[in-house]
Amino acid sequence: MKIYSWNVNGLRAIAQKGFGEWLEGCGGDIVGLQEVRSLPDQLDAQTRAPAGWWTHFSPAERKGYSGVALYARRAPDEITTSLGAGRYDVEGRVQLARWGELTVANVYFPNGSGPNRDNSRVAFKLAFYRKLYEQLNADKIAGKPILVMGDFNTAPKEIDLARPKENRKTSGFLLEECEEVDRWLRGKWTDTFRHFYPEREGAYSWWSQRFNVRAKNIGWRLDLVLASKGAMPFVKGAFIESGVMGSDHCPVGVEVDEAVVG
């Protein structure tokens, strides 16, 4: 199975830039999107329900903001979009879908910078991380296979951004944000890309849209797939498709043995 995560920075916009063609050609079995920024009825029929795909959308209450979507070759056995806390749920940031034994969490983690780039949302961001961790923890401890994928809005280590020293006071690389991701890793979650490529430099998934920095590969690895201990034996590879255009992020993902679903 091939499982993708992609922050599309507006699904209506990327639909005009070849998203449908990419979806059909990517070979994915499950595709999770973040920052969809659309209600389902604002999408054209081909984007909303392409032939051969089951789709599900969880938009934010605020129009044009946040939102996640799942595309899959077959419907999951169960799906929920709630963390049990209204302040998170209204922002349309989570889809927890189960196929057999496998749970895939498609997540758009909050940005901590706030409306004025003042780091005013860092507390909210970290509380969101912790709430999700708590919600998944019992199944993780029980050995269930779980993948948490999405735009984490945090580069975990210095190797995961081009200019770490210049960005230590920028949300996305604040010490407390990196510490929260590290807490997940200490808690037996595995960063799948770093599992396979522990020392690969220049592997980024987001680039600013200013100053032509993508062409220079001055980026950040903000998009991750974390695997529980129960999932890791089935994870056979991880990838970043930096050549796929249309968003300021690129797709990332994992290849897993289909036996993971049980």
Active site residues: 151
Looking at the DSSP bridge assignments, the partners of residue 240 are: 252
CA dist list (Å): 126 to 88, 180, 222: 12, 7, 15
Element (H, E) at 147: strand 146-151
Coil/strand/helix, residue 38? coil
Calpha distance 152→181 (Å, rounded)? 9
Residues whose CB falls within 8 Å of the CB of residue 236, separated by 6 or more in sequence, listed in order: 254, 255, 256, 257
Handedness of CA 242, 40, 27, 147 (dihedral sign): positive
